[in-house]
Structure 1
Amino acid sequence: MAKRSHIRFLCKQWATVPPVVHADLRGKTAIVLGANTGIGFEAAQHFARMDVGRLILACRSREKGETAIERLNQATGYSKAELWLVDLGDFASVGAFVDQALRDLERVDLLILNAAAAARMDGLFTATNDGWETSYELFSQSGQQSSSPLLALLMLPRVLETAKRHNTIPRIVVVSSDFHFWTELEDKVLNSPNAFEILGSKEYCTSQIMKARYADSKLLNVFFARALSNRVREQPVIVNVVHPGFCYSELRRDITSLGMRLYEMMFAWTAEQGSRQLIWAAVGTPKGDNDTSNKLKGAYVGMADIDEPSDFVLGDEGKKREDKLWVDLISTLEKVDPRVKDVVAQCLTAP
């Protein structure tokens, strides 16, 4: 498997970050997960400046979310932002969030799956309330087998309704990273009865495995976005996956390594610069191509353009891995929420 070199990664970090793109979002609805801080908060500010009709800041903490609402209002003058609580470490919370959205939101035009879990540097296993290893349940900066994919799938009927009722093309943006180039899943995982049951189990999550967990989760983000896109291909919806760059982040607030701090000082973008990539994935247009809908479906986005993901997800072998992971994901999520089965049957097609 070809991996992107570290030198190329650093060269991208030194490159000039393209300016943020703008779009007319009046009357539209955007949901941003993990919107109280970092690139999620900065993306929410950009949407606010585009006068989005409804802006939902999906956060775990009420206190931090309310602070984010105040900061956003002060920075942009936008007074319509709404705080909705969701804990992606709790399937019940995800279900309640979706229930609220289906009840209260007439349309969903932009769904930004940005909620994040910090990568553990000590190689230790930590479990959520539901028993899954943390980075895999949190999935949008985490894993493909649970909460963010669950939320995306359960929201899909409303997204499709939006497309048809308003003659528009909604977008679902999955946040990943170039870190996905630096890992691959073991045959032991891919050949197992259910890959996600192994990936989320304490028995599999040795200290060595856990050290690669962050990169693994980013790889799974890419697989999920491509798999979902392939199954809504005939629908007027864009699903893509974005690399926001290496940015300063509160996720690393507990990392005290001097080396990491120096690395950030030399190479990290600001959270605002990283958020520009999310905005481009949400409203941008590929250069020199008017066929935005098809070109952006399943695309890997970075530096305000379409990039190519790791060889591990491409080609015939990559497609086999994608299909295997999709089947295992759906099998897992159907046990979590029975609505998943109906969504797959009614909204998706074979790739």
Structure 2
Amino acid sequence: MPPSKELLPNPAPYFPSIFIETQFRTKQPPTPQLDLTGQVAIVTGANTGLGLEAARQLLVLRLTHLIIAVRSSAKGEAAAEKLRREHPQANVEVWLLDMSSYNSVQSFAQRSREQLTRIDIVILNAGLIKLDYNTVASTGHEEMIQVNYLSTMLLALLMLPVFKQKSAGRNGPGRLTISNASLALAAKFANKNALPLLASFDDPARFDTTEQYSASKLLAHLFLWELVEYVPSTDVVVNLADPGFVKGTDFGRDQSGMRAIAAKLLGAVAARDHVTAASTYVDAVVVKGKESHGCFLMSWDIKPFASVCYTAEGKQAAKRLWDETLHELEFAGVRGIVDSLGH
């Protein structure tokens, strides 16, 4: 299978064509009985929902050391205790991570560098969807863009040299999977020509919950389009994984009224259960190999990126986004990290 960048864009509309294909017509393949003994994994947002289930599935594969990264120590310890009872042979730790805080992201990456002797798997699952416009006080960015895109890409970039130092020569390259969403394919991206691009997502006048969430996931497509040119697959395999539309998670906990009722009814008919959905993450980090490097995975398979990525305007937007993102995150020395990856 060619990588996502070399595939033809999918001309079908997201609703209903792609949605029906992913939610109703695609079946989960069996997960090979792999042995993760001796390996170390990090799963962010793992105190509940998909993160917790993905962590559990890694432990079923005899993972030796699991770190669940959470905002709340109490909730994290409660989740960890469940996992410890189910898998007493594993070392399950709780590390604090607030994805709305650059300082917290940097501290987490630094702890990984200083305390881990190896790292094999990282699943960046933490994310959110907000019904109302809100900015993060410490950065000034709209909250979904901050958490789903900026802080997630910062953590991904900061973990790359950790992988390079602590995973080489053990079980092949490290694996870094970033949670994504097929809704990225539906983003209108009307501001693609905005200068500057990132700042345009902070405009409250253009805020729409569904579009902003979809755009926050589309930005990951555009960023990975550029990032893969710098990251050797021999060091770490980086991919995006879409778990699909899922029921039984806390992801839509801010919804209320008719919106919540509609979401619940649609979920009852079309949504995947969290066990099936979490298997997409496990597939991305332990089943897929170097062929998935720099790819968008949907329904356990390599798929094209959002169609705009293949257009001249989209490629120009990807380069602007790349430059603006590295500028935004330069306080953490990300340009130096990127420049060092191939050496």
Partners of 1:72 and 1:78 within 8 A in 2:
no
Distance 1:223 1:247 in 2: 24
Unaligned runs of 5+ in 2: 1-8
Larger relative contact order (Cα-Cα within 8 Å, sequence gap ≥ 6): 2
Q: Which residue of 2 aligns with 1:61?
A: 72
Equivalent of 1:155 in 156, 159, 182:
159
- Counterpart residue number, 1:184: 188
Instruction: Give yes or no for the alignment of 1:171 onto 2:175.
Output: yes
In structure 1, distance between residues paired with 2:64 and 2:227: 26
SS of residue paired to 2:329: helix
The 3 A distance-change label for structure 1 pair 190 and 22 is: farther
Please name the residue that 2:6 is paired with.
none
Give the CA deviation at 1:40: 0.7
Residue matched to 1:137: 146
Note if contact 2:296-2:304 (Cα within 8 Å) is conserved in structure 1: yes
| Preserved CA contact (<8 Å) 2:64 2:89 | no
- Give the TM-score of the pair, scaled to structure 1: 0.86
Partners of 1:186 and 1:207 in 2: CA distance = 10
Aligned to 2:255: 255
Gaps of 5+ in 1: 286-291
Query: For 1:167-200, what per-residue CA distance to the aligned partner results, in whole angstroms no more than 9, with x for missing partners?
Result: 621111111111011113234x5441x322332x
- Give the letter aligned to residue 298 of structure 2: G
Q: Please list, as runs of the form range in 1=range in 2, the aligned pairs for 1:300-315 lying within 5 A after superposition.
A: 300-314=296-310
The amino acid across from 2:279 in the alignment is: R
Give the structure 2 partner of residue 96 of structure 1: 107
Which residue does 2:281 correspond to in 1? 278
Distance 1:304 1:314 in 2: 22
Counterpart AA for 2:200: I
Q: Matches of 2:306 and 2:97 in 1, distance apart?
A: 31
Aligned-partner Cα distance in 2 for 1:211–1:267: 18
Correspondence for 2:330: 334
Partner of 1:10 in structure 2? 20
Distance, in Å, in 1 between the alignment partners of 2:226 and 2:70 is 26
**Secondary structure at 1:309 match in 2:** coil
The alpha carbon displacement at 1:96 in A equals 1.1
Shift of the alpha carbon at 1:163? 4.1
**Is 2:225 the counterpart of 1:231?**
no
Which residue in the other structure is 2:319 paired with? 323
Give the letter aligned to residue 345 of structure 1: D
Q: Which amino acid aligns with 1:148?
A: T
- Report which stretch shifted further, 66-75 or 315-324: 315-324
Bigger drift between 25-34 and 313-322 goes to: 313-322
Q: Does 1:197 align with 2:206?
A: no
Assess if the C-alpha contact under 8 Å between 1:238 and 1:296 holds in 2: yes
2:116 aligned with 1:105: yes
1:25-76 deviation per Cα after TM superposition (whole angstroms, max 9, x unaligned): 1222111111111111111001111222321101111111001101212334
Aligned pairs (5 A) from 1:69-84 = 69-84=80-95
Cα distance, 1:132 vs. partner? 1.8
Secondary structure at the counterpart of residue 230 of structure 1: coil
Tell me: CA distance 1:57–1:334, structure 2 relative to 1, closer, same or farther (3 Å). same
The letter for the 1-side match of 2:154 is L
Instruction: Indicate if the aligned counterparts of 1:190 and 1:324 stay in contact, CA closer than 8 A.
Output: no
1:59, 1:87 within 8 Å by CA — same for their partners in 2?
A: yes
Label 1:190 to 1:30 Cα distance change in 2 as closer, same or farther (>3 A).
farther
Match for residue 5 of structure 2?
A: none
* Cα drift, residue 210 of structure 1: 4.3
Amino acid at match of 2:41: A
Kindly indicate whether the alpha-carbon contact (under 8 Å) linking 2:232 and 2:341 is maintained by their aligned counterparts in 1.
no
Q: State the aligned residue count.
A: 328
1:222 maps to which residue?
A: 221
Query: Given that residues 19 and 276 in structure 1 are in contact (C-alpha distance below 8 angstroms), is that contact kept between their aligned partners in structure 2?
Result: no
Q: Hey, what's the Cα distance between the residues in 2 that align with 1:118 and 1:297?
A: 27
Report if aligned partners of 2:193, 2:313 keep a CA contact under 8 Å in 1: no
How high is the TM-score relative to the length of structure 2? 0.88
3-state secondary structure, aligned to 1:255: coil
Tell me if 1:269 matches 2:272. yes
* Matched residue SS, 1:164: coil
Q: 1:229·1:240 contact (CA, 8 Å) conserved in 2?
A: no
How much has 1:17 moved relative to structure 2?
A: 2.8
2:55 aligned partner = 44
Structure 1 distance, partners of 2:89, 2:224, is 31
